[in-house]
């Protein structure tokens, strides 16, 4: 599933990238380059080990020993978390913060991408049976045991019932059926699936929640459960199992997490991790404010964009930070178009039928694609620290269809496509064949300066075709609601997180009944109907792709889905930013990977208080 839905924040703790397809340098000027540490040459710790201490099953970190104490301060751009319920996150910030508090059975190895145990001590696969052995003796933050009953509850009563974010249920559905879950004993469960299903193991990263704490709310139905653990919840009441627990939330100011003393991971001296006492998110309004706070040493790391890369690199040698290049972002940045054409029971269109004739026209959408000037976007907004994107898979995906050709801006071709469909350009304005002036709204989330700048450029590009574009940045929650719960929008600039390892995570976006199939949301009365034949093919491709077990069989299937999106343009991709991160030198046990980013191992990271603070400031 697309686990974290719309990416509004630059969150460097989210996993990103795969393979060594990173750019080793970043352009500063035409004849100059900026080099960053080659992360492929970093010496990484050995894999974690299972150990038994006093009869309890712990996970032992093999990272170098660190010092206990201290805090790390990072930033969140926007309004802060919408929920602390890990089962109901629909934005990147909420998902990242819930991820600090709740672990799943399995996780992805940060360097190899293999599935490895986390809450689980081990697992076995025998045909269609997946047996999971839990760690014995590990505790929730309220000191109650974590047992098979919690796993049974999490999947049977939350995931399989579609409570919270239904994307998890969508992703685990195999030909319309969900897995069967059996309790073997207090520390062993068995999942049985209908037939071989390639993505299944990765679905077991879903956060396990405490039955004794969550059940009273899930028993009351979806509305009660969805409101559970809202930002007004008393932090002391939250029961969790991750490396950190919530200490404080001050709306629009900060979120403070403290170390979980019951966490099941230990260091080489068998002392309980994590090292740091506190992890603090400062909620900042926009990227300009974030830069000011980094330069004032109020936050400890920052994602650098555009012209700031060269500026910070120039000061790095005499500073208190190190800059890392993590390669292209695994998320996608795009323009999506409202293709809905639904009618209510009285035969009335939910949306303007004049606009829908334009939007549902393939040549109209292709004209939009050819009108967009990605080169100028990359130069003027990303300052060259990005690459054009044309497919639904990120540039780092092992399933990227590299046969799809780049699309350069071609105003002549765009105008010809429109002319072929009866559109007419008169006195600087574009009219359809019925004399209707082409005018529509373009939305994005207010406060995201990059997307607001993209909106201005797209508006200009399309107005050169004679279209009138009303650009309307609005509050993030309102935008999400428009795209997923209403038909009241035309165009929108948005982003999605992604997995470079598993395209099935996009099932909830590309299958016709998916909860994020935003360009054509289907009501229950239309569940068996298709407006577009290519939507039906996408359904079939995602169904078949998950049932193939090896990469060689799956790759052509996912190549084809990318071809469909490329040809039909329900979503038009823009560019992929290169992830450049500056982090304070005092922060140790940093082992960046293209796959998992920079702070994926927060439980192992520590503060070296003896590290010099640096002698210069960025001006």
Cβ count near 527 (within 10 Å): 9
**Domains with residue ranges and CATH for the chain:** 332-576 (3.10.105.10)
CB < 8 Å & 24+ apart, contacts of 154-159:
154/87, 154/206, 154/207, 154/208, 154/209, 154/211, 155/179, 155/181, 155/191, 155/206, 156/181, 157/215, 157/218, 158/87, 158/209, 158/214, 158/218, 158/225, 159/87, 159/206
Above 80 in pLDDT, residue 24? no
H or E element in which residue 440 lies? strand 439-445
- Mean pLDDT computed over every residue of the chain: 89
User: Residue 288: which pLDDT band, with cuts at 50, 70 and 90?
Assistant: confident
Over residues 370-380, the pLDDT tens digits come to 999 999 999 99
Over residues 467-491, the pLDDT tens digits come to 999 999 998 878 988 898 888 899 9
pLDDT confidence of residue 350: 67
Above 90 in pLDDT, residue 34? no
pLDDT confidence of residue 344: 58
Two tokens at 166?
């239904």
Residue 424 forms beta bridges with which residues?
431
User: Residue 618: which pLDDT band, with cuts at 50, 70 and 90?
Assistant: very low
Q: Crossing angle for the helix pair 362-371 and 411-420, nearest 10 degrees?
A: 170
């Amino acid at each position: 599933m697309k686990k974290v839905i719309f990416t509004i924040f630059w969150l460097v703790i989210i996993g990103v990238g795969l393979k060594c397809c990173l750019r080793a340098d970043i352009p500063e000027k035409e004849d100059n380059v900026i080099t960053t540490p080659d992360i492929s040459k970093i010496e990484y710790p050995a894999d974690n080990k299972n150990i038994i201490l006093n009869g309890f099953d712990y996970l032992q970190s093999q990272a170098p020993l660190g010092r206990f104490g201290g805090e790390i301060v990072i930033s969140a751009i926007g309004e802060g978390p919408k929920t602390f319920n890990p089962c109901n996150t629909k934005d990147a910030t909420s998902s990242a913060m819930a991820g600090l508090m709740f672990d799943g059975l399995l996780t992805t190895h940060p360097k190899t991408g293999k599935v490895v145990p986390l809450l689980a001590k081990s697992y076995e696969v025998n045909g269609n049976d997946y047996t999971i052995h839990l760690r014995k003796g590990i505790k929730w933050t309220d000191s109650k045991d974590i047992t098979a009953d919690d796993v049974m509850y999490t999947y049977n009563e939350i995931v399989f019932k579609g409570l919270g974010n239904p994307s998890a249920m969508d992703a685990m559905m195999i030909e319309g059926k969900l897995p069967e879950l059996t309790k073997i004993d207090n520390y062993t469960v068995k999942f049985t699936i209908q037939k071989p299903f390639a993505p299944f193991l990765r679905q077991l990263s879903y956060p396990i929640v405490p039955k004794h704490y969550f059940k009273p709310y899930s028993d009351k139905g979806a509305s009660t459960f969805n409101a559970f653990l809202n930002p007004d919840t008393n932090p002391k009441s939250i029961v969790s199992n991750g490396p950190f627990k919530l200490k404080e939330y001050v709306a629009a100011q900060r979120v403070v997490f403290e170390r979980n003393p019951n966490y099941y991971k230990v260091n080489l001296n068998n002392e309980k991790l994590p090292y740091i006492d506190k992890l603090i998110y400062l909620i900042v309004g926009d990227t300009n404010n974030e830069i000011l706070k980094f330069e004032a040493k109020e936050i400890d790391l920052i994602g650098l964009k555009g012209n700031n890369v060269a500026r910070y690199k120039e000061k790095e040698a005499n500073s208190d930070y190190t800059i890392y290049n993590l390669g292209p972002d695994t998320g996608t940045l795009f323009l999506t178009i409202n293709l809905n054409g639904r009618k209510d029971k009285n035969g009335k269109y939910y949306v303007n039928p004049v606009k829908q004739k334009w939007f549902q026209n393939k040549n109209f959408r292709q004209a939009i694609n050819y009108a967009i000037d990605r080169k100028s976007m990359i130069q003027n907004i990303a300052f060259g620290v990005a690459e054009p994107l044309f497919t639904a898979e990120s540039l780092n995906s092992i399933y990227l269809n590299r046969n799809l050709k780049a699309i350069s801006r071609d105003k002549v071709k765009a105008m010809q496509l429109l002319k072929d469909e009866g559109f007419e350009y008169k006195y600087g304005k574009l009219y359809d064949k019925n004399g209707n002036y082409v005018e529509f709204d373009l939305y994005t989330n207010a406060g995201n300066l990059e997307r607001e700048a993209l909106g201005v450029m797209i508006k200009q590009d399309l107005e050169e075709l004679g279209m009138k574009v009303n650009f309307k940045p609005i509050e993030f929650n309102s935008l999400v609601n428009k795209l997923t719960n209403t038909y009241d929008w035309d165009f929108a600039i948005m982003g999605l997180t992604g997995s470079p390892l598993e395209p099935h995570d996009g099932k909830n976006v590309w299958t016709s009944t998916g909860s994020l199939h935003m360009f054509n949301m289907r009501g229950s009365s239309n569940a068996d109907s298709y407006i577009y034949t290519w939507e039906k093919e996408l359904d079939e491709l995602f169904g078949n792709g998950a049932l193939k077990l090896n990469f060689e069989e799956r790759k052509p299937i996912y190549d084809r889905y990318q071809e469909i999106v490329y040809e039909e343009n329900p979503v038009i991709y823009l560019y992929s930013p290169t992830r450049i991160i500056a982090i304070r030198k005092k922060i140790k046990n940093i082992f960046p990977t293209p796959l998992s980013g920079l702070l994926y191992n927060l439980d192992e990271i520590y503060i070296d208080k003896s590290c010099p603070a640096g002698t210069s400031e960025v001006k």
